[in-house]
Structure 1
Amino acid sequence: FRPRRLLSLSSVSKMGGCLSTIEEQLLGTSDPANANANANAGGVVVVTGAGRLPSPVYRNIPDGAEKHPVRNVYDGDTLTLVNEKRVRFLGIDTPELKEKQPFAEEAKAYTRERCHKKDIWISYEPGHDREDHYGRLLAWVWVPAEDGDGYLCVNEGIVQAGLATVYIPKQSEKFRTFHKMIKMQAGARESKRGMWESWEDYAVVKTANGSAFHVRGCRHLANIKNLTDMKASEALEEGLHPCRTCLADK
C-alpha cells in the first residue's frame, strides 16, 4: 500500500493531535471503548460523509496506564523506552522507513514530535497479548494534548492525520475502539489528508476469513477459492488492511 508522496513535513507539523485546522475536538473519557457513545453525549464533532467523527483526545488516561520516558522513536508506529523495551503501537500500521515508502518520514515526524525524549503513558488492550512475537509491547500510547486539556491517544491521532492505516493481524483480534478508528480512517481518506491526498479507489479481492485485501495474482492467494471482488474503499470500511506484499507499492 504505497500512496504517492505529496505532503510536506511542515504540513504534518500542523496536524497536531488536536488537528485544530481540520476539526474541533471532542473530549472523551478515560475508556477508549466509550468513545463513540461520548460523541452522542455531547461535545463538538465534525460531520462529513463518513459521519460523526470522534476525537483522539480523552479527558483522562485509562486506569492502570504506565508512565515511561522514551529513548527514541524508530518510526511512525514503533518507539523504544528508556528501559530498552520496544513499543509497537496497537491497531495501526505506518509506511515503512526501510523500504522508503511515501509518508514514512512524515509518520515518524508525527510520532517523534509527540513522544521523542518525553514521558508517555502506555495501556494495554484487555484480552489481548501484551507482547508480539518479537517481544515488543503492544500498547496504546498516550501523551498530554497540545492545549493541555486531556490526553491524546497517539494511535488514533496518527490515523486521523492520514499517516497510518488501521491494522489487525486477524479478524478475531479486533480491539474495542476498532470501529471508531475505522471512522477516523474514512474521515482522513474523504478529506484527502496525508497519504490519502492523491488516493484513488481500485479493484481488490478478499478471502473468506482473512484480515487483508489483495489484488488478483497475489502470491498469498495461490490455491485459494471463493474470493470476493470489491473496491479498496469497501475493504477499508470493513476494517481490512492492504496486503503488505501485493499492495506494498500501490
Structure 2
Amino acid sequence: MSCYDYLSGVRNEKTDSIKEVGPLKKFSVFDKNSQIKKGLTYTTFVKDVYDGDTFTDKNNRRFRLFGIDTPEIQLNRPNRNIDTKLMKFHALRSKKVLQDLVLNRWISFEIVDVDNYHRLVVIIKDENGENINLKMVEGGFAISRYSQYENPKKKYYHPEHRDLIDKLRKAQEKAKNDNLSVWKDDVLKIYGIKVAVK
C-alpha cells in the first residue's frame, strides 16, 4: 500500500460528513454547547487517541470508555508489582487497536458519567453500531473494570448498564480462557492488581 493509498483511505471530518455514516446520522452532533447529562447520546469525530481507553474529539473534549481499563502508557506513581516494559508493550498495543477502530472517524457515544479528571465516561459505537468498549475486552486489550451493579454503596454503581457490564465480564472470561493479549502474560505485572474473573 502506498502512502497515497493510505492517506486517501483516512477519513476526516471535511470529507466524511455525518450524513454519510449510516446509523450515526440519527444522533445530534456533539459540540461545546451540548448538554452533558447521563443517558444522552451524541455523535462526534475522534481526532486523537491517548491510550486504549481515552480519546479526544474535534472539540478537544476528553472521553474515557466506560467499564474497561487498558494498561497505562506510563505510571503516575511507582508500583512494585508492575513490570513497566510489559505494561508499556500492552498499553501501546491497546492504543493502536483503539486508533484502528475510532481515530479519524465519526462515532456515537452515550454519556454514563463524568470522572474526576472531567472526562466524559462513555459507551461508544462505530458507524456500524458495534460496541467498542466490548470489542476492546473481547480482544483481550482491556479488562472489565470501574463498573458494577451489585452494591449501591460502592463506587462505579451503574445498574442501568447491567446488560453491558455482564457482557464485559463474560467477554473478559472468554479472553482469559483463550489467552488473548494481556491474558497471555501475568496481568498482575501489567496492572499491578489481581483481576477477578466473575
- Tell me the TM-score normalized by structure 1: 0.50
Displacement after TM superposition at 1:236 (Å): 2.3
2:114 aligned counterpart, secondary structure? coil
Please give the alpha-carbon distance, in whole angstroms, between the structure 2 residues aligned to 1:140 and 1:197: 26
Please give the alpha-carbon distance, in whole angstroms, between the structure 2 residues aligned to 1:200 and 1:94: 11
Please give the alpha-carbon distance, in whole angstroms, between the structure 1 residues aligned to 2:119 and 2:61: 7
User: Which runs of at least 4 in structure 1 moved beyond 2 Å after TM superposition?
Assistant: 60-65, 169-172, 198-201
Please give the alpha-carbon distance, in whole angstroms, between the structure 1 residues aligned to 2:94 and 2:147: 20
Please give the alpha-carbon distance, in whole angstroms, between the structure 2 residues aligned to 1:68 and 1:103: 27
1:163-242 aligned at under 5 Å gives the runs: 163-168=141-146, 172=152, 173-174=157-158, 175-176=161-162, 177-199=164-186, 235-237=196-198
> Among residues 87, 111, 119, which one is paired with 1:124 in the alignment?
111
Equivalence for 1:76: 52
RMSD after superposition = 2.6
- Tell me the TM-score normalized by structure 2: 0.63
2:99 aligned counterpart, secondary structure? helix
Displacement after TM superposition at 1:179 (Å): 1.4
Please give the alpha-carbon distance, in whole angstroms, between the structure 2 residues aligned to 1:111 and 1:98: 17
2:119 maps to 1:136: yes
Equivalence for 2:14: none
Q: Structure 1 residues 180, 118: closer, same or farther in 2, change over 3 A?
A: same
2:56 aligned counterpart, secondary structure? strand
Displacement after TM superposition at 1:200 (Å): 8.2
Displacement after TM superposition at 1:118 (Å): 1.3
Q: Which has the larger share of helix?
A: 2
> Among residues 68, 71, 96, which one is paired with 1:109 in the alignment?
96
The count of corresponding residues between Structure 1 and Structure 2 is 140
Please give the alpha-carbon distance, in whole angstroms, between the structure 1 residues aligned to 2:68 and 2:172: 10
1:140 aligned counterpart, secondary structure? strand
Q: Structure 1 residues 82, 236: closer, same or farther in 2, change over 3 A?
A: same
User: Structure 2 stretches of 5 or more lacking a match?
Assistant: 1-22, 28-39, 76-83
Please give the alpha-carbon distance, in whole angstroms, between the structure 2 residues aligned to 1:85 and 1:198: 33
Please give the alpha-carbon distance, in whole angstroms, between the structure 1 residues aligned to 2:114 and 2:104: 23
Alpha-carbon contact 2:45-2:57 (below 8 Å) kept: yes
Alpha-carbon contact 2:66-2:147 (below 8 Å) kept: no
1:168 aligned counterpart, secondary structure? coil
Equivalence for 2:64: 88
Taking every aligned residue pair, what percent have the same amino acid on both sides? 25
User: Structure 1 stretches of 5 or more lacking a match?
Assistant: 1-59, 145-149, 202-212, 215-231, 238-250
Displacement after TM superposition at 1:169 (Å): 6.2
Displacement after TM superposition at 1:156 (Å): 0.5
Q: Structure 1 residues 133, 183: closer, same or farther in 2, change over 3 A?
A: same
Equivalence for 2:132: 154
